[in-house]
RNA sequence: GCGCCCUUAGCUCAACGGAUAGAGCUCUGGUCUUCGGAACCAGUGAUGGGGGUUCGAUUCCCUCAGGGCGCACCA
């Protein structure tokens, strides 16, 4: 249990006793007052007032008067309908300091739970370009994996990649017809994506080409040797590109699933569904699951020509996942909100098939441009690699201006840390169900509510610690009475575990991003106003510990968002 | 037409049904003999309209307006 949690429970018990009348009060009812001058924790007496049929102010007054002095609480006073509690600041500060420093890199994590969760994200299609929309998925998925782990669950992160289907045929048709024998660029995966975009354009301009593409798709499905060969080779190009992107973003998967491995099982499974009476032939010849009585319309599971759909494959995928990971009790799919109806239909069908696992679609809004949706047809995709290069170049330029004596290698390394911070924070800073209107200028910003701002605070705190270490100090811990400004920072640090738990519970990394930004602001205030290295010996040792604790909070928080915390930048 | 999501400051975003609706960006004006100026301080300025529930609504319900996305062979 954390220090703050312990204190809240203690206060809740004392309040319940002080109010009397069999009132139950939970730790969660203790909140922060709007203004620190009012106190450090507050309790609103509204529910108790209702139960006891008294006015909230009356109860607050009585409760405050009856509240005993404790180790951690110095004062309880009534303010209107609230009981505001002021902590004994030196005692509280010392306890938080000890807690954060002893937990170190584990600060904010909950005890292990006996729950195994599969989280599926990272679902790009081969033969298509990776763009900033995929980036949001990767950042969100990664953060949710980290947060779920921090909340104590065991997590199995997996990907699911679309390596077969109409888009592959379209790409390969165009590649063979118009680009045979062309010299290959270094990034073959990206090259394929561009070919795909070109193919889309060509088919759009001349509808008669559709038949050619369809013919290619039939040949691919028939596994004609030369086409099969080309498929395998080009598929590898894309997968190599994906692997490189995953690696540079720190995305680690336990298992890569592919559409190609579940297509045949899916077709078989769907036929079984017909035998079981779950699926039937629809009026237009396709196989459907009629979900109208569940208000979910018609769910198509096989095309009328017998070829597979996304749903065909995913029905089989679900079985495969639970077979390979038997202990999974919950499965989260991180997929954009356009698939909401689809997932409801999928989950309902799986339920009808007898699946009793908890299935969750973690829907997020996608990334659009000011001009509207990104579309390969219009050629206004923001390719991930182009964006990444631009952010990195910008980060390097900024770093170089400040660090004239650094080697190229060090500049590159730091620039990437900052660029990654900017990209990931930018993708996570707002609620998943708000669309991100991508704007290159704000995406390239390193000031204000950004990843680099938080990283900068971390670097500044690190800098102070580094100078102390150089002077031979370990930042020894003292319990001496701290400054109010130290208390303020530690009070904020004490909130961190609750923030992590809440962000994990709601799958909202934005909650943590918001907190980290505010915490970085407070860190700024601290090292601006409070001398550390120049302070008297006792103050100095204790303040070094405060700096260490603050840095721990920033480092742990950034890590959960998948962002590295630089010592210098 | 039906369904889901969204609408808060000039722009981009916050706010378990609770106290004076907070930030960032932009703009204007300031801060440095101080551990790093990717910093700090100040000023300007907002809950789309109308009903309802509640002691109390940005938050919940209804309705209108506006935007986005789905809704039978794409993934």
What are the φ and ψ backbone dihedral angles of A359, each rounded to 5 degrees?
Answer: -115, 130
One domain for residues A463 and A423: yes
pTM: 0.96
pLDDT, tens digit, 9 for 90 and up, residues A360-395: 999 999 898 877 788 766 778 899 999 999 999 999
One domain for residues A283 and A315: yes
Domain membership of residue A109 (yes or no) is no
Least confident window among A5-9, A189-193, A466-470: A466-470
Query: In the sheet where A436-438 sits, what is the strand order?
Result: A372-373, A367-369, A436-438
Segment holding A310, helix H or strand E:
helix A310-324
User: What is the 3-state secondary structure of A352-366?
Assistant: HCCCCCEEEEEEECC
pLDDT, tens digit, 9 for 90 and up, residues A117-146: 999 999 999 999 999 999 999 999 999 999
One domain for residues A339 and A249: yes
Q: Tokens for A205, please give them.
A: 């301009």
Average pLDDT over residues A44-53: 88
Q: How far is the CA of A437 from the C1' of B6 (A)?
A: 13
One domain for residues A219 and A273: yes
One domain for residues A194 and A289: yes
Q: How far is the CA of A524 from the C1' of B44 (A)?
A: 25
Q: Tokens for A235, please give them.
A: 């598929």
Q: Say which CATH number the domain at A30 has.
A: 3.30.1360.70
Q: How far is the CA of A123 from the C1' of B55 (A)?
A: 50
- Give the burial class of A292: count Cβ atoms within 10 A of its Cβ; 0-12 exposed, 13-18 middle, 19 or more buried: exposed
| Residue nearest the C1' of B22 (CA based) | A34
Give the range of the structural domain holding residue A419, as residue numbers without chain letter: 384-560
Is 90 exceeded by the pLDDT of residue A190? Answer: yes
Q: Read off the DSSP letter of residue A383.
A: B
d(CA A53, CA A56): 9
Q: State how many domains chain A has.
A: 3
Domain membership of residue A285 (yes or no) is yes
Q: Say which CATH number the domain at A526 has.
A: 1.10.730.10
pLDDT for res A336: 93
pLDDT for res A555: 98
One domain for residues A120 and A69: no
One domain for residues A488 and A343: no
One domain for residues A264 and A314: yes
Q: How far is the CA of A431 from the C1' of B15 (A)?
A: 13
Pairing of strands A280-281, A255-258: unpaired
Alpha carbon of A127 to those of A161, A173, A182, A384, A512: distances in Å? 11, 11, 17, 14, 35
pLDDT for res A474: 64
pLDDT for res A174: 95
- CA of A372: nearest nucleotide by C1' is B68
pLDDT, tens digit, 9 for 90 and up, residues A466-500: 999 887 776 567 776 778 889 999 999 999 999 99
Domain membership of residue A146 (yes or no) is yes
Least confident window among A212-221, A471-480, A495-504, A547-556: A471-480
Instruction: Give the pLDDT band of residue A173 (cuts 50, 70, 90).
Output: very high
Strand B positions with any atom < 7 Å from protein CB?
3-6, 12-16, 18-20, 22-26, 34-36, 38-41, 55-56, 68-75
Q: How far is the CA of A60 from the C1' of B56 (A)?
A: 17
Domain membership of residue A569 (yes or no) is no
- CA of A436: nearest nucleotide by C1' is B12
Q: Say which CATH number the domain at A123 has.
A: 3.40.50.620
Domain membership of residue A36 (yes or no) is yes
Q: Tokens for A354, please give them.
A: 């007898």
Least confident window among A6-20, A45-59, A225-239: A45-59
pLDDT for res A475: 56
Closest to A349 in 3D by CA, of A287, A290, A302 = A290
One domain for residues A396 and A368: no
d(CA A135, CA A138): 5
What are the φ and ψ backbone dihedral angles of A297, each rounded to 5 degrees?
Answer: 70, -150
Average pLDDT of every residue of chain A: 93
| Residue nearest the C1' of B25 (CA based) | A448
Domain endpoint, select from A328, A351, A373? A373
Domain endpoint, select from A315, A349, A373? A373
- CA of A464: nearest nucleotide by C1' is B35
One domain for residues A189 and A224: yes
| Residue nearest the C1' of B68 (CA based) | A435
Is 60 exceeded by the pLDDT of residue A147? Answer: yes
Cβ count within 10 A of residue A76:
25
Q: Quick check: ipTM above 0.90?
A: yes
Q: How far is the CA of A137 from the C1' of B11 (A)?
A: 25
pLDDT, tens digit, 9 for 90 and up, residues A264-288: 999 999 999 999 999 999 988 999 9
One domain for residues A468 and A368: no
Closest to A164 in 3D by CA, of A226, A99, A89, A239 = A239
d(CA A251, CA A228): 30
Q: How far is the CA of A409 from the C1' of B34 (A)?
A: 33
Domain membership of residue A94 (yes or no) is no
Domain membership of residue A97 (yes or no) is no
d(CA A422, CA A412): 15
- CA of A34: nearest nucleotide by C1' is B19
Residues above pLDDT 70, as percent of chain A: 99
One domain for residues A57 and A127: no
Q: How far is the CA of A513 from the C1' of B67 (A)?
A: 27
Average pLDDT over residues A49-70: 91
Domain membership of residue A186 (yes or no) is yes
């Amino acid at each position: 249990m954390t220090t703050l949690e312990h204190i809240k429970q203690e206060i809740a018990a004392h309040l319940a006793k002080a109010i009397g009348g069999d009132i139950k009060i939970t730790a969660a009812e203790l909140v922060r007052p709007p203004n620190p001058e009012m106190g450090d924790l507050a309790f609103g007496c509204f529910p108790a007032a209702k139960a006891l049929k008294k006015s909230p102010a009356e109860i607050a007054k009585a409760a405050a008067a009856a509240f005993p002095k404790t180790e951690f609480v110095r004062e309880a006073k009534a303010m209107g309908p609230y009981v505001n509690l002021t902590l004994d600041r030196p005692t509280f500060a010392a306890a938080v300091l000890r807690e954060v420093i002893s937990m170190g890199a584990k600060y904010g994590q909950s005890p292990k739970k006996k729950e195994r969760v599969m989280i599926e994200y990272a679902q790009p299609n081969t033969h298509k370009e990776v763009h900033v929309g995929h980036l949001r998925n990767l950042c969100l998925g990664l953060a949710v994996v980290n947060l779920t782990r921090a909340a104590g669950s065991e997590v199995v992160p997996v990907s699911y990649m679309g390596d077969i289907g109409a888009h592959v045929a379209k790409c390969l048709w165009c590649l063979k017809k118009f680009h045979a024998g062309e010299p290959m660029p270094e990034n073959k995966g990206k090259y394929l994506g561009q070919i795909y975009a070109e193919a889309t354009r060509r088919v759009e301009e001349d509808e008669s080409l559709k038949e050619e593409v369809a013919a290619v798709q039939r040949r691919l499905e028939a596994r004609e040797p030369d086409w099969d060969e080309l498929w395998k080779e080009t598929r590898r190009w894309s997968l190599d590109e994906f692997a490189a992107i995953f690696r540079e973003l720190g995305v680690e998967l336990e298992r890569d699933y592919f559409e190609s491995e579940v297509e045949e099982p899916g077709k078989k499974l769907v036929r079984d569904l017909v035998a079981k009476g779950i699926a039937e032939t629809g009026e237009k010849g396709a196989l459907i699951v009629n979900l109208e009585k569940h208000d979910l319309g018609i769910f198509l599971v096989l095309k009328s020509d017998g070829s597979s759909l996304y749903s065909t494959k995913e029905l089989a995928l679900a079985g495969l996942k639970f077979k390979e990971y038997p202990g999974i009790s919950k499965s989260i799919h991180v997929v954009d909100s356009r698939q909401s109806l689809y997932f409801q239909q999928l989950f309902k069908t799986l339920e009808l098939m007898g699946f009793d696992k908890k299935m969750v679609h973690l829907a997020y809004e996608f990334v659009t441009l000011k001009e509207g949706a990104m579309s390969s047809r219009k050629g206004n995709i923001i390719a991930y690699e182009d964006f990444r290069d631009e952010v990195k170049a910008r980060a390097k330029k900024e770093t170089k201006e400040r660090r004239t004596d650094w080697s190229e290698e060090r500049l590159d390394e730091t620039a990437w840390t900052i660029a990654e911070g900017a990209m990931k924070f930018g993708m996570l800073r707002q609620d998943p169900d708000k669309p991100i209107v991508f704007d290159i200028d704000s995406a390239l910003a390193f000031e204000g509510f950004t990843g680099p701002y938080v990283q900068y605070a971390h670097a500044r705190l690190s800098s102070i610690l580094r100078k102390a270490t150089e002077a031979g100090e370990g930042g020894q811990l003292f319990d001496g009475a701290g400054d109010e400004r130290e208390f303020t920072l530690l009070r904020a640090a004490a909130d961190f575990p609750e923030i992590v738990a809440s962000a994990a519970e709601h799958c909202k990394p934005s909650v943590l991003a918001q907190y980290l930004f505010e915490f970085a602001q407070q860190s700024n205030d601290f090292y601006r106003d409070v001398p550390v290295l120049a302070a008297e010996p006792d103050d100095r040792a204790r303040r070094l510990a405060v700096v260490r604790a603050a840095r721990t909070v920033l480092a742990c928080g950034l890590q959960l968002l998948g962002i590295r915390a630089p010592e210098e930048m």
